[in-house]
Amino acid sequence: MLLKLENVSIQFGGLKVIESMNTSIAQGELVGLIGPNGAGKTTAFNLISGIYSPTQGEIILEGRSLKGLKAFEVARQGVIRTFQNIRLFSTLSVLDNILVSMHQRCDYGLASVFLKLPKFFRAEKKFQEEAIKLLKLFKLDHLKDHEAGSLPYGVQRKIEIVRALAGKPKLLLLDEPAAGMNHSETDELMNLIERIRKEFNLAILLIEHDMKLVMGISHRLIVLDHGEIIAQGTPSEIQNNPKVIEAYLGVEETA
C-alpha cells in the first residue's frame, strides 16, 4: 500500500475538523475525495501534504511515517499537490515554472551556483531537457517562453499539473482541478488526468465538486461529512449509498 491514514484527527482549539480518518491508497489508484462544503476535504489534503500536522494518528507513505515532516520534506518524499486557486509564478515563463519544481531535486549546493562549477551546468541542462520533454508530452512546448500569467485559465491549470509532475510525485494531490473550467475544458482535463495516471503509474487523490468528472475517472471514492468518513467504495456504490445521499441532499423531517 502506498499511503495509509491511521486514526488521523486534527483539531483547532476545541473544534475537531477531521475525526479518526482511516483509509489507504494503492500505487496507480485514482481516488476521489468528495463531500459537502466544509466537510474537511482541504484539511485532509493539508494533513497529507504536511501543511498541518495531525493532532492524533499516523500518515504513512511506503511504510514511513510523515508525521512531523514539513511540507517541503513531504514533497521530497513524493507527495506533491496542486491548489484550488492557481499558484503559478505568473510573471515567470512557463518553462521557468516547471524548472522551479525540479530544483527541489537538485544535488548541487550554492558554491556550485556562485562558482559556476560543471556540476551546476550539467544539472541545469538535464532539468531543461526534462522540462521541455514534459511540456511536449502535453503539447505545451510552444508556450515555454510565454509568461504563465498571460495564458488562458484552462492552459494555466494544465501547466500547474505539469509542474507538479516535474517534482516526480509518487502521490499526486489535485485540489479541485476543474474549478472555473467550462464543459469542454473539464472533459479535456478528465482525459488528461487519466492519461497521467496511466503513463506515469501514479496514485492520484482528487478533490472535485464536478460529479461527472470525479465519477467518470475514479476507481474509488471516499466521502467526508463533518470531518468523518461516511462511505468508501466504487462510484456506483457511492451513488446509491443512503448516507451519501443524505449528506448531499438532506432528508425531510417527519412529524
Cβ 50 vs Cβ 67: under 8 Å: no
Query: Mean per-residue pLDDT for 186-210?
Result: 90
Residue 50 has pLDDT above 60, yes or no: yes
Residue 86 — pLDDT band, cuts 50, 70, 90?
A: confident
The domains located in the chain, with CATH, are 3-91+164-249 (3.40.50.300)
- 32-36, 106-110, 143-147, 155-159: segment of lowest average pLDDT: 106-110
Residue 112 has pLDDT above 70, yes or no: no
Cβ 222 vs Cβ 232: under 8 Å: yes
User: What is the pLDDT, as a whole number, of residue 137?
Assistant: 87
Burial bucket for residue 163 (CB in 10 Å: 0-12, 13-18, 19+): buried
- 7-21, 27-41, 80-94: segment of lowest average pLDDT: 80-94
What digits encode the pLDDT tens for the residues 222-238?
999 999 999 999 999 99
Residue 221 has pLDDT above 70, yes or no: yes
**Mean pLDDT score across all residues of the chain:** 88
User: What is the pLDDT, as a whole number, of residue 91?
Assistant: 92
User: What is the pLDDT, as a whole number, of residue 254?
Assistant: 43
What digits encode the pLDDT tens for the residues 168-184?
999 999 999 888 888 88
The secondary structure of residue 36, as a DSSP letter, is S
User: What is the pLDDT, as a whole number, of residue 104?
Assistant: 64
Cβ 27 vs Cβ 40: under 8 Å: no
User: What is the pLDDT, as a whole number, of residue 237?
Assistant: 93
Residue 255 has pLDDT above 90, yes or no: no
| Separation between Cα atoms, residue 174 and residue 187, nearest integer Å | 16
Query: Mean per-residue pLDDT for 65-70?
Result: 92
Cβ 165 vs Cβ 196: under 8 Å: yes
Cβ 173 vs Cβ 79: under 8 Å: yes
User: Considering the entire predicted model, what is its pTM?
Assistant: 0.87
Residue 105 has pLDDT above 70, yes or no: no
